[in-house]
Structure 1
Amino acid sequence: MRVEPQKSILFVCLGNICRSPLAEGVFRDVLASRGLEHRFVLDSAGTGGWHAGSAPDPRSVEIAARHGIDISSQQARKVALDDFSRFDLILGMDRSNVADLKAAAPHEARERIHLFLEFAGDRGREVPDPYYGGAEGFASVYRMIRDASEAIATRLDGRVAASESGHASSTT
């Protein structure tokens, strides 16, 4: 029996209660719809730890549930030093998150840190923090994350398939 390689992805925002738990849940759903969930280990964290142990923001839980995704059991946590060695890919929701991650990361891990939407092929855009806004902000963030997750899943599925066949890929 052949064991398929697993990739690990960490989604990161400021407090790990709005964007990154939503990204983790949406990406998990995208992978499941493609039969790829067994190939990836997913988690989310925040650059700040002030919400550690908290459930996601109720508005993130609600917008996810509206699309058939349950993120209610996730718990916020702060990025830990060992995350930089545990994860193949670390995706920050905005430039500030990416800058904070790169400042905290060991030198050899910095190349695995990317802006979420940019990694999805959407140059120059960030996922805005919907925390201080209303329901429409969360709906807009959901749509951005969903579209980006579809693009990233397609990109990474190609990389995993190439590594299984022994062919190199230049999609990173």
Structure 2
Amino acid sequence: MKNILLVCTGNTCRSAMAEAIFDDEVGRSSVLHGFIEVDSAGTFACEDAEPTPNAVEAVEEMGLSIEKHKAKQIDKELADWADLILTMEAAQVEQIEAMFPEAEPKTHTLKGYAAGELGYPGPGYDVSDPYGEDLDVYRECARQIQHYIQQIIAKLEKEFSFQ
């Protein structure tokens, strides 16, 4: 079993969408189904906040639902639970490493991890925050997240097929 934690700032947009997308992609994988557990959190989350309406709609258009999602703050228990922590921004890698230094080796940006750039790759590997933007921006964000997750799924399938 491998536990993957997806992290953004408030856990109401990007990481909430990423959790639903990642979970769906794992469910579609004959190699990973039943071997990957996915969760999400924020580095500055308002506990129990609902996802933004545009995030809900963007993933609904993908056939997924985050309507029941409630935001949560990353804490030591979640950081310890995770085998892999994937953030939406490089700054969040730094924040997690400052809060939980022991999590440094397993913390990467989503885009960087998909590209094989581990740790803190810099701001060129950020997934832009759609918060406050219109639905089209959320749709594009969800598509980007899905693209990176599909690359990661392919890597994980290769990794798991050798175990």
Please give the root-mean-square deviation of Cα atoms over the aligned residues, in Å: 1.3
- Counterpart of 1:121 in structure 2 is 115
| Preserved CA contact (<8 Å) 2:51 2:67 | yes
| Preserved CA contact (<8 Å) 1:93 1:116 | yes
Kindly tell me the number of residue pairs found equivalent between the two proteins: 156
Of 22, 27, 38 in structure 2, the residue corresponding to residue 42 of structure 1 is: 38
Of 101, 111, 116 in structure 1, the residue corresponding to residue 105 of structure 2 is: 111
- Counterpart of 2:91 in structure 1 is 96
Please say which structure displays the higher CA radius of gyration. 1
1:86 and 2:81 matched: yes
- Detail structure 1 runs of 4+ shifted over 6 Å in the superposition: none
Tell me the amino acid that sits aligned with residue 110 of structure 2: F
- Provide the TM-score with structure 1 as the length reference: 0.86
User: What is the alpha-carbon distance in structure 2 between the residues aligned to residue 97 and residue 111 of structure 1?
Assistant: 14
- Counterpart of 1:170 in structure 2 is none
| Preserved CA contact (<8 Å) 1:9 1:87 | yes
| Preserved CA contact (<8 Å) 2:14 2:88 | yes
Q: What are the ranges of 5 or more consecutive residues in structure 1 without an aligned counterpart? A: 1-5, 165-172
SS at match of 2:7: strand
